[in-house]
Amino acid sequence: MAKSPMRVVVTGAAGQISYSLLALIARGDVFGRDQPVDLVMLDLPFAKDALEGVVMELQDCAFPSLKSVTATCDQTEAFTDIDVAVLVGAFPRKPGMERNDMLAKNAEIFKAQGALLNTVAKKTVKVLVVGNPANTNCLIAQKYAPTIPKENFSALTRLDQNRATAQIAAKAGVTSDKVSQITIWGNHSATQYPDAWHGKVNKDGAEVAASAAVNDDAWLKSDFITTVQKRGAAVLAARKLSSAMSAAKAIGDHLHDWIVGSEGRWVSMAITSDGNKYGVPEGLIYSFPVTCEAGVWTVVNGLEISEFSREKLTVTAEELSGEAKYAAEFLEKASA
């Protein structure tokens, strides 16, 4: 029997990440070629013409599983009856702005979008926040959508996981598909902790620990971590634009594995820390290793955490707690 269409909204749809992402979704690479998609694209009014151009291009791709395309600048229209919300649009950091200024600007956007999802989206909606600061924006949207289960909110750290996986693959002399169980802990920021200590590499047909395949613990404890932490900044410096093709690929990976299933593979997702077994404070959107089946993620529990790793897990949790506190205080002041 044919599947019923899935209604998917992408915000920031006229931006550079979306330009790569929309085709992945429309072609069926994310939810499956047999899954019809009603695609909804939201952006700000100034981008209306650009949005219309993207609609024309999507039509011109003649994708069989793309059932309909709607472009709108009306948030209510965009979020009504939505199954999947990919929140890419955000206020970018401008020259001279502190991180807290950006947090404050985005707190307002994600408060409004959370509240709207709460009233007009399906209660089963799955929300992926990409716009930075992604973890804290996600926390805010979740807070203002109390009738949607907390587990339905996630933020993107899959790009960091893919970056880390590629670094391990290059160092071990294998292709990326031979590397598994690389984890990103914490915030999508320079405090994130890329962790290869539980990783595996399939080398010449045999599965070995990533640390053995790499055979350079000093690198795993230093340059590997900083390269992944600073990769976004390195791409920005080179391209004069932030990562877009790789971000879109990672969004597709995240959505596919969450909604369709990860088939036992570990993936990293920033999700609610409530009930975790790693001592991460409750109430944060923190990246953990998870497995997913049909829209439900489960944290991979029971991993041994060394003292080296524990310290790193704490640093990134402290940064997230600080961001959450700042955003909450800002929103309280704004509504007083």
Catalytically active residues, by annotation:
188
Min separation Cβ 207 and ligand OAA, Å: 30
Q: Which of 124, 176, 183 is nearest to 157 (CA)?
A: 183
Question: Is 267 in contact with 290 (CB distance < 8 Å)?
Answer: yes
- Measured from the CB atom, is 135 or 152 closer to ligand OAA? 135
**268 near ligand OAA, rule: CB under 6 A:** no
Distance CA 326, CA 88 (A): 22
Taking CB within 5 to 8 Å according to partner kind, which of ligand NAI, ligand OAA, none is near residue 131? ligand NAI
Q: Is 227 in the site for ligand OAA (CB under 6 A)?
A: no
Question: If binding means CB under 6 A, how many residues of this protein chain bind ligand OAA?
Answer: 7
Residue 135 CB, nearest distance to ligand OAA (Å)? 11
Question: If you search the block for the tokens 């907390």, which residue do you land on?
Answer: 150
Binding flag, residue 243, ligand OAA (CB under 6 A): yes
CA atoms within 13 A on the CB side of 100: 8
Closest CA to 64 of 18, 5, 19, 21: 5
Residues 16, 20, 202, 242: which binds ligand OAA (CB under 6 A)?
A: 242
Contact residue for ligand OAA among 36, 114, 194, 232 (CB under 6 A): 232
Residues of span 93-132 touching ligand OAA by CB under 6 A: 132
Report the candidate in 15, 16, 76, 17 with the shortest Cα–Cα distance to residue 254.
Answer: 17
Residue 44, φ and ψ in degrees, nearest 5: -80, 160
CA dist list (Å): 185 to 2, 173, 228, 305, 312: 39, 25, 12, 12, 9
Among 6, 159, 168, 299, binds ligand OAA (CB under 6 A): 159
Contacting residues toward ligand NAI, per CB under 6 A: 11-12, 14-18, 42-44, 47, 88-92, 109, 130-132, 134, 156, 159, 188, 242-244, 247
